[in-house]
Homo-oligomer: A and B are copies of this chain.
Amino acid sequence: MSLKVGVVGGGQLARMMIAPAVELGIEIEVLAEQESMSASLAATQVGDYHDAEVVLSFARDVDVITFDHEHVPQDVLSALVDAGVAVHPGPAALGIAQDKLVMRARLAELGMPQPDWAAVSGTSELQEFLDAHGGRAVVKTPRGGYDGKGVRVISAATEAEDWFAALAEDARGGALLVEELVDFSRELAQQVARRPSGEIAVYPVVETVQREGVCAEVIAPAPHASDRLSSVAGEIGRAIAEGLGVTGMLAVELFETTDERLLINELAMRPHNSGHWSQDGAVTGQFEQHLRAVLDLPLGDTSARAGWSMMVNILGGPRRDSLESRFAAVMTEHPAAKIHTYGKEPRPGRKVGHVTVSGDDLDDVAYQARAAASHFED
């Protein structure tokens, strides 16, 4: 009689759903891509999520299917829905997350604030956009990019020639996305959760710091955020979750411009790195909230549990020893740090864990979190 969630994908996001599932008393099963993944503890099956038969058989005895990532193909999602499986987020919402051109078009329909953008199918169209936007722009492949992959800042259309060539060979064809280069003062992220029955819970807006296209740090709440800014960010999150019919967690990555406008950068329809602070820093962490949302259970309190929380990612460095071998040093010096590691082999640049620290003095919180994380990166 207990509730059972099936998670497609065995990465760290699936792993981080295990703890709140165990605490609440929800059963969790994972369809992992291979053995020995981050979420192996809950893996009941290893198989290819591109194969509808595999996913259907995995889904047979769960109450809802949700995801570690947004890459499950539409035909597999449709097969699940056709078989009567509850799927959250659903195929329509995921379809928007899977294609950045579709996302821009849908956000435009919703009247959401965005950078100028265009779909360009060749170098001349791209050059036109560049010429109209000061000679520099961001070009993105609509599909398959993450953590800065599939994103280039260019100043000449020829710099995207290889991507146009690849598109020409892609059966789905299509175009590249080009966006104006936004003069932002900083980046923010807004987490919201939405249940199928409509309830929405909004988290405090946070500041994110990226390095080389990868999230490095998150400060919650965003320092110096005016009430107006926080409220606008929350309204954007709410409007997107409703407008796109998102179920589960939604992360909206935002640019804040020097004139305090907010422009939407990216969307993620799942728990997201910019929300990891909430595991320790909010009454209801994003992984618990995601489980509640996809099961259509009432959502938890999103309040911060301390004045400030800071999350710092741990990236693999040149050292090849395990992260656990460094626990003693971190724990001795930073007894208040909450350490999260993902059971992944540390490889240079790979996200293998994170640290959060909460407290009332932001300087101290930031110092502790960075110092704790740095022990893992020598």
Q: Hey, which bits of chain A sit against chain B, CB under 8 A? A: 1-3, 15-16, 18-20, 22-28, 41-42, 279, 283-284, 292, 297-301, 303, 305-306, 321-325, 327-328, 331-332, 335-336, 338-343, 353, 358
Q: A2 → chain B, closest Cβ, in Å?
A: 5
Cα(A1)–Cα(B341), bound, Å: 13
Oligomeric state, in number of copies? 2
Cα(A39)–Cα(B268), bound, Å: 33
Residue of B nearest to A20 (CB): B19
Interface pair B306/A1, CB less than 8 Å apart: no
Interface pair B336/A300, CB less than 8 Å apart: yes
Which residues of the other chain, B, contact A292 by a CB distance below 8 angstroms? Answer: 331
Interface pair A328/B297, CB less than 8 Å apart: yes
Residue of B nearest to A305 (CB): B305
Q: Told that A24-B327, A283-B336, A298-B335 touch, could you supply 14 new A-B pairs with CB distance under 8 A?
A: A1-B322, A1-B324, A3-B324, A3-B327, A18-B22, A19-B22, A23-B279, A24-B341, A283-B335, A297-B327, A299-B331, A300-B331, A305-B305, A305-B306
Interface pair A1/B321, CB less than 8 Å apart: yes
A25-B323 contact given A41-B42, A284-B335, A305-B305, CB 8 Å threshold: yes
Cα(A328)–Cα(B342), bound, Å: 31
* Residue in contact with A331 in the complex, picked from B1, B28, B297, B358, CB distance below 8 Å: B297
A-B contact pairs, 10 of them (CB 8 A): A2-B322, A3-B324, A15-B22, A18-B41, A23-B279, A24-B341, A25-B340, A26-B324, A41-B42, A298-B328
Most chain B CB atoms below 10 A, which of A16, A298, A306: A298
* Residue in contact with A22 in the complex, picked from B41, B284, B332, CB distance below 8 Å: B41
Which residues of the other chain, B, contact A283 by a CB distance below 8 angstroms? Answer: 335-336, 338
Cα(A338)–Cα(B284), bound, Å: 8
